[in-house]
A and B are shown apart, each in its own frame.
Chain A
């Protein structure tokens, strides 16, 4: 395998792991938020806002990885 092939392999694997991690993170976050708003429906609005912010932070980390994968793929 030459360097380009390795870069593509790394990009593909990296994207896969990124999706795995981000999916786990956002899944746990959403389940916790749903549970919380089920227990306290009157706080659902606040919980949703906090959830979106936390989801964006997780997504931000995933996006770092996605940018690195993109850079590897177009190398």
Chain B
């Protein structure tokens, strides 16, 4: 990166057909907050690009196109810098906004590189907190209901949540993890995983809200957690020696130079596939919805609106289905991977348990 960032970003903007040629810092700052509204007679192909921008993360709390409040920016690069919003970060002179292929990025003014550690509270982080809050609130309430009338049949919200909890326990976790002890030990993790992903997916379906699972960083973090859960469980249940032996894939020792790299790739591909699957599914639905709405802006006609409304509603219903399916899939695939990693070293109790409920 060149040290003179503003000139660099101007050159980039000139070479890129989608950006305005005059990209001063002030304009870059404004467009960091909200994409400019499509102008009359402007390039209509740009509408789609602007709509796509809505899917990405924002540096302030947005609900739809409306900015609710600023969020703090926290950077760590040779000392902690905390600002109340982006304007303050830029006013301090330490940071600049750089534009790169239409993607705006905060960089250090002295080096032209992004800060070493960006711990800023972004829009997606906030929506993740909402998901955590919803989950915690629901489960606190359900747990309270069990304490209040123990031994009685559940009713209302308690009943609804219990159905899902039992489904996760009896249909997802216990049948797929051969060791009953490990399954029950990991049950809270799988419950949190399922309800957290479900809450995040469903949050994105509220008009104006954003889906944190549409950010690859969120899904990657979930998958990295799953990676550690899979391998640490395998090491604990079947032993570290067996885990290393598993890297041979059952082949004779002299094939190790082929098998070990393949098995290591196999270990890493699982969380990678989990990451991309959840991210792409949540993003794809939103892209389709935005494309349909983009058609309205493209043709500028009222006659199309009934058809677009019908299609959008259909896709919305499909997304509702996908939100549940993806939460289910992430959970069941993680539990299948745990089961595979444990292998046949489990305590073989599950055979008659599967049909007991």
Identify the A interface with B (CB < 8 A): 4, 49, 52-53, 56, 59-60, 63-64, 66-67, 70, 74-75
**A56: B residues at CB distance < 8 A:** 277, 325, 329, 333
Among the listed stretches B107-115, B135-143, B200-208, B279-287, which one makes contact with chain A, having 4 or more residues with CB under 8 Å of it?
B279-287
Across the two chains, which residue of chain A brings its CB closest to B330?
A56
Known pairs A53-B329, A75-B101; A63 contacts B276 (CB<8 A): yes
B125 adjacent to chain A (CB < 8 Å): no
State whether B52 touches A59 (Cβ < 8 A).
no
B313 adjacent to chain A (CB < 8 Å): no
Identify the B interface with A (CB < 8 A): 17, 49, 52, 101-102, 171, 273, 276-277, 279-281, 283-284, 287, 325, 328-329, 332-333, 336
Across the two chains, which residue of chain A brings its CB closest to B284?
A66
Across the two chains, which residue of chain A brings its CB closest to B17?
A4
Q: Complex: how many Å from CA A67 to CA B287?
A: 11
Nearest-neighbour CB distance to chain B for A1, whole angstroms, equals 14
Known pairs A4-B17, A52-B325, A75-B101; A63 contacts B333 (CB<8 A): no
Nearest-neighbour CB distance to chain A for B133, whole angstroms, equals 29
**B281: A residues at CB distance < 8 A:** 59, 63
Across the two chains, which residue of chain B brings its CB closest to A63?
B280
Across the two chains, which residue of chain B brings its CB closest to A45?
B171
State whether A64 touches B280 (Cβ < 8 A).
yes
Nearest-neighbour CB distance to chain B for A48, whole angstroms, equals 11
